[in-house]
Chain A
Amino acid sequence: MHPFGDLSAYLDEALSSEDRTSVQAHLDTCGLCRTRLAELRGTARLIAALPMPVPSRSLVPRVSVPIWLAPLRTFSTFASGAAIFLFIASAILTTFPRAVGTSAGSAAAPAPNTVSAPQASGGAVADSATSDPAKFQASAPSPAPSPATSQERSIQGSSPTPPDASQVGRQDVQPSSSTALAVDGRAQASRNEPGLFVLLSPWLWLALGLLFAALSFIVSRRLRST
């Protein structure tokens, strides 16, 4: 009787030594069983040669990554985008009123520069405020007219006219003046609401945007690493 049922186990060397010896003895004398054995060996080789399917994603769970890391990446990415948006918006808001005041040829245009005079109470703040648009203009294009140009005009208009300082002083007394608001909203904010002025600073939002972008990048790399 042919030991067909043992041929696969014989092929896989999974028979006991006694059974193996018995099957081997039969194979030595049976051409049919040798043929069947060769067929099974060929079939096993074909099964083993099947192409390797590849998963479309990593299937290893990231158990070494803290559970809060993925939400942190999402948050920092969105926060970075929001901060960049606020950077652009605040830059436009802080640049645009000055341009309007200059193009209108207002006599009050020199006001911001006179505020920066040493005797002005908010001089230091105003100094940084007047320098902001120039820096921003140097680093990024703006649809508004060049702040540098408007600054030059302001300086030209203000330097020979000390009495303007007293005029600004009167504006300080009357903050509701529409002329003063139109000329330089930042200057008003710096004197009346320092917190609002900080929020209007483009550099604050640019710094936050870069900070969150860096955080998002670092967290993403951490999540990708194995």
Chain B
Amino acid sequence: MRPDPGGASDALLDRARRGDARAFEQLALEIERPLYRHAARMLGHDDAEDAVQDALLSAWKSLASFEGTSFRAWVFRIVTNRALDKLRARKRRPELPLDPPTESDDSAAWAEPTAPGPELADLAADREALRVVEEALATLPAEQRAVLLLRDVEGFAYEEIATITSTEVGTVKSRIHRGRLAVRNILVSRGWKGSAG
């Protein structure tokens, strides 16, 4: 579990809540890059910058009403909601729901390798594998992609992700598993052996 930078900045958060603008800016600066990373993988570069800036400004304006303990999770919630709203507004694939129903997790298909290839566990530094992963993430339903990024990239706990996305922990668990399985299947379909033996 990754440490929560927001939790380590309680003093700054207290000052920001009392209206200290510089304390807020320092807090925001600590999570600016991760916020942008998350938004960029949800929305793409241009919309991500606007979404993060709007979310941080919104956070500053409503900071007095924030009663939680994790500033980071709270701002990620704002950014994630804005990203999902923007994706809904785009209506690029209006015929597809953001998170279409699938088979139960136990019976979800596991694609088999079609050709020999390097093992997934050894591919962390492989640029080609990372490119395939990015493509695979882009094909995921938006809400599935959001929870997978919040877990695997940002390191949030399932309970935090449930709060951020306003869903049940069971839904988070299901979406994370289905998202990982979808990425794994695309990697395997591109020729990766996909097995650690």
Contact = CB atoms under 8 A, between A and B. Distances in A.
A138 interface: no
Interface in B121-141: 121, 123-125, 129-130, 133-134, 137
B49 A35 contact: no
A208 B96 CA distance: 64
B24 A43 contact: no
B108 to A, nearest CB: 7
Interface residues of A, number: 41
Given A51-B130, A53-B37, A14 B158 contact: yes
Given A53-B36, A53-B40, A59-B49, A47 B148 contact: yes
Interface size class of B (residues with CB under 8 A): 35 or more
Instruction: Provide the main secondary structure of the chain B interface.
Output: helix
A5 B25 contact: no
A1 B32 CA distance: 44
A55 B133 contact: no
Interface stretch (A60-68, A143-151, A164-172, A191-199): A60-68
Interface of A: 1-5, 7-9, 12-14, 35-36, 38-64, 226
A147 B56 CA distance: 61
B181 A40 contact: yes
Given A8-B177, A42-B119, A47-B148, A59 B25 contact: no
B77 to A, nearest CB: 17
Contacts of A42: 119-121, 123, 184, 194, 196
B120 A59 contact: no
Interface string B174-185: 101100110110
A4 B107 CA distance: 8
Given A4-B106, A44-B152, A52 B37 contact: yes
A5 B104 CA distance: 8
6 contacts: A4-B110, A41-B196, A42-B121, A43-B133, A46-B183, A61-B28
A142 to B, nearest CB: 49
A6 to B, nearest CB: 8
A35 B184 CA distance: 12
Nearest to B20: A64
Contact of B25 (A2, A14, A47, A60): A60
